[in-house]
Amino acid sequence: MMTSAKTATRVLCFLSAAGLLADQVFPRPGWKDEMSPLASPYAVVGGEISILAGPTPKSLNYYLDNNTLTAELFGAMYESLLGMHPITLEDEPGLAEKWSISDDKLTFTFWIDEKARWSDGKPLTAHDVKWTFEAIMNPKNMTGVHKVSLEKFETPEVVDDSTIRFVAKEVHWRNLRAVGGMSILPKHAFEALDFNKINFEFPVMSGLYRLGEFKENMYVTLERRGDWWNRDAPSARGTGNFQTMKFRFFAERENAFEAFKKGMIDLYPVYTSHLWVKETQIESVRKNWIVKQNVHNYNPVGFQGFAMNTRRPPFDDVKVRKAMCHLLNREKMNETLMYSQYFMHRSFYEDLYDKDHPCPNELITFDKEAARKLLREAGWKVNPETGLLEKNGRVFRFKFLTRSQSTDKFLTIYSEDLRDVGIELVADRKDWASWAGDMDEFNYEMTWAAWSAGVFKDPEGMWKSSEAERQGGNNITGFKSARVDELIERQKTIFDVDKRHEIVREVDHLIYEQYPYVLLWNIANTRLLYWNKFGMPDTVLSKYGDESSAYSYWWLDEDSEADLEAMQEDGKALPARPAEIKFDDVFRKQ
């Protein structure tokens, strides 16, 4: 991705003509494309990895289905203008070889790498960038949450085939990455189609992988492209090593684990403590055919909880919502169901707190009397004939929208404690697609939601009042607060991450006091099980990544695969791999 003399001249001529010589031009002086410090020089290309996926998504178009799996698949096929260094998080060239930011931080100009090509051989141009932006922003398109950051921009200007200019309506620290991180789609392949129906067919892509075979409720594959335009770049060395990545769909993780033990799945991230503690006492783990490993890195900590729809009663009352928090016996669940492996959430931004920044939020404990008091104050009274709470002729009965059988054991405990104070929980189980459809329409009362997190905290999409009515967005609870809106606006123009995160901590406390979620629990490391046939960096995962970073940095090691097969046949053990991986310790030695 080094800039050619011809390109550099073109860039400087444009800057001069546009009067932008005072603008900051990136990448920084002296930058050069280099191999990732996390990639191994011993990595080889080839082979297949079989990966656990959740239920079949409603779409493989990430702009239409905002979930983790779709993001992974889409990101492998379609690239963005900018990349990011895996250690420093510095912006780096992607499809754009160079970019500039005006002094007023409102104008962003990108020069597309002249080598960039679509898989059909056509050049990738500024027209593709503009078309992608307009497709996302089209009110008819169900692109929900993706509109949040891009609606801060005017329609981009195509300066020439290789140059695109974005002008923001307001200064925001997020602006560069909003447009720089947008996955660019091929205009010529999709412009004649209904964007809302681009779901499972992607004939043209720019990325390292193309969509292979898709079988609903079974699997989807990605196939490595030998003709990827950027395959010779130093930064591409040692990454994207698998020829085939097969993502197997499972509605229930218990069934997926059985498939994993049979070798149908190669990599199994463990999200349940019972499995981690009890179900791994098997021969294949004892003999190191399957590696059991805890990875401690800087993967941002998200949150999970029972989301309450505050748009409708009874959860439109903060006292009721707080009572629902007091009625969840998290401590009992952690001890009896999860072997005390988890910490209890007391924040929506757990990794913003440390010894220098203690969390001010009260840790909500199981307390039925406190809940009863709150419910009385909210006007709910027990009908002595039924034992259920009533208010204005309405019985306190609600539906819990669920999509997984694995939630049953938690809901059983919760419903028993709710019933004791006069509340009836009715489980309403649906498949993934139906659940997602109901969530898009806000057609729910309570549900289990788990959210990942980013390194740079941006509360707007989930917590700003204007997002409460956006279908397909992240503000699923309908949370609204004028004070939170004010703080969100204030942090937009702050480019110092530490100062911005100070404001987010204040936002967090204000949200916490409104109890939009019955917060649950979490863990600050990644628990992995995988068949012992892969090569990988010593750090196992990237600095900020979860199990998905294995897709980029691991490779199939034929010698290890042969050793595994031989040891299984002879019933012998393989050498053990480290049970605990601490990124800082390993990377420092490396």
How many structural domains is the chain composed of? 3
Rounded Cα gap, residues 184 and 197, in angstroms: 17
What values do phi and psi take at 344, rounded to 5?
-85, 130
List, as own/partner pairs, every contact residues 213-216 make where C-beta atoms lie below 8 angstroms and the sequence separation is at least 24, other chains included: 214/60, 216/56, 216/249
132: its two tokens: 């992608």
Same domain for 348 and 283: no
> Mean pLDDT over all residues of the chain?
94
Q: What is the pLDDT of residues 51-81, one digit of tens each?
A: 999 899 999 999 999 888 999 999 999 999 9
Instruction: Tell me what pLDDT residue 384 has.
Output: 95
Q: What is the pLDDT of residues 113-131, one digit of tens each?
A: 999 999 999 999 999 999 9
Instruction: Tell me what pLDDT residue 84 has.
Output: 95
Is residue 571 situated within a structural domain?
yes
Rounded Cα gap, residues 156 and 431, in angstroms: 39
Q: Answer with the residue of higher pLDDT: 7 or 369.
A: 369
Instruction: Tell me what pLDDT residue 36 has.
Output: 96
Instruction: Tell me what pLDDT residue 126 has.
Output: 98
**Displacement of CA 178 from its chain's centroid (Å):** 15
**Displacement of CA 255 from its chain's centroid (Å):** 23
**pLDDT above 60 for 7:** no
Element (H, E) at 355: none
Is residue 34 situated within a structural domain?
no
Instruction: Tell me what pLDDT residue 590 has.
Output: 75
Same domain for 422 and 391: yes
Please, which residues have CB within 8 angstroms of residue 29's CB and are 6 or more apart in sequence? Answer: none
Same domain for 442 and 382: yes
Q: What is the pLDDT of residues 98-115, one digit of tens each?
A: 999 999 999 999 999 999
Instruction: Tell me what pLDDT residue 404 has.
Output: 85
Bridge pairing between strands 91-93 and 96-101: unpaired
Counting residues of the chain whose pLDDT is more than 90, the rounded percentage is 90
The arithmetic mean of pLDDT across residues 420-435, rounded, is 93
Same domain for 544 and 515: no
Q: What is the DSSP string of 431-495?
A: -HHHHHHHHHTT--SEEEEEE---SS---HHHH-GGGTT-TTSS-TT----HHHHHHHHHHTT--
**pLDDT above 70 for 286:** yes
Same domain for 562 and 492: no
Is residue 333 situated within a structural domain?
yes
**pLDDT above 80 for 511:** yes
- Dihedral in degrees, nearest 10, Cα atoms 417, 379, 476, 366: -30
Domain boundary among 492, 522, 552: 522
- Dihedral in degrees, nearest 10, Cα atoms 552, 553, 556, 559: 170
Is residue 345 situated within a structural domain?
yes
- Band of pLDDT at residue 9, cut at 50, 70 and 90: very low
Same domain for 62 and 181: yes
Same domain for 64 and 139: yes
Rounded Cα gap, residues 497 and 502, in angstroms: 9
In angstroms, the first-to-last Cα distance of the chain is 26
The arithmetic mean of pLDDT across residues 474-499, rounded, is 97
Domain boundary among 150, 180, 197: 197
Q: What is the pLDDT of residues 151-185, one digit of tens each?
A: 999 999 999 999 999 999 999 999 999 999 999 99
Q: What is the pLDDT of residues 453-481, one digit of tens each?
A: 999 999 999 999 999 998 888 999 999 99
Domain boundary among 158, 174, 197: 197
- Band of pLDDT at residue 14, cut at 50, 70 and 90: very low
Same domain for 471 and 340: yes
**pLDDT above 90 for 256:** yes
The CATH number covering residue 163 comes to 3.90.76.10
Of 287, 308, 517, which is closest to residue 398 (Cα–Cα)? 308
- Band of pLDDT at residue 23, cut at 50, 70 and 90: confident
Of 337, 301, 347, which is closest to residue 526 (Cα–Cα)? 301
**pLDDT above 50 for 410:** yes
Rg (CA), the chain: 25
pLDDT-wise least confident of 132-136, 201-205, 213-217, 249-253: 249-253
Q: What is the pLDDT of residues 333-391, one digit of tens each?
A: 999 999 999 999 999 999 999 999 999 999 999 999 999 999 999 999 999 999 999 99
The arithmetic mean of pLDDT across residues 234-252, rounded, is 96
Is residue 131 situated within a structural domain?
yes
Same domain for 497 and 418: yes
Instruction: Tell me what pLDDT residue 1 has.
Output: 32
Of 200, 196, 190, 198, which is closest to residue 56 (Cα–Cα)? 200
Q: What is the pLDDT of residues 391-401, one digit of tens each?
A: 999 999 999 99
Q: Which amino acid, residue 493?
A: T
The CATH number covering residue 343 comes to 3.10.105.10
Rounded Cα gap, residues 55 and 359, in angstroms: 36
Instruction: Tell me what pLDDT residue 129 has.
Output: 98
**pLDDT above 90 for 198:** yes
Same domain for 539 and 517: no
Instruction: Tell me what pLDDT residue 500 has.
Output: 97
Same domain for 256 and 321: no
CB 553 within 8 A of CB 536: yes
Of 283, 250, 280, which is closest to residue 265 (Cα–Cα)? 250
- Band of pLDDT at residue 22, cut at 50, 70 and 90: low
Is residue 244 situated within a structural domain?
no
Same domain for 389 and 318: yes
Strands (E), 231-336: 244-249, 267-269, 290-296, 303-308
- Residue 127 domain boundaries: 5-29+57-197
Instruction: Tell me what pLDDT residue 232 has.
Output: 95
Please, which residues have CB within 8 angstroms of residue 431's CB and are 6 or more apart in sequence? Answer: 55, 251, 403
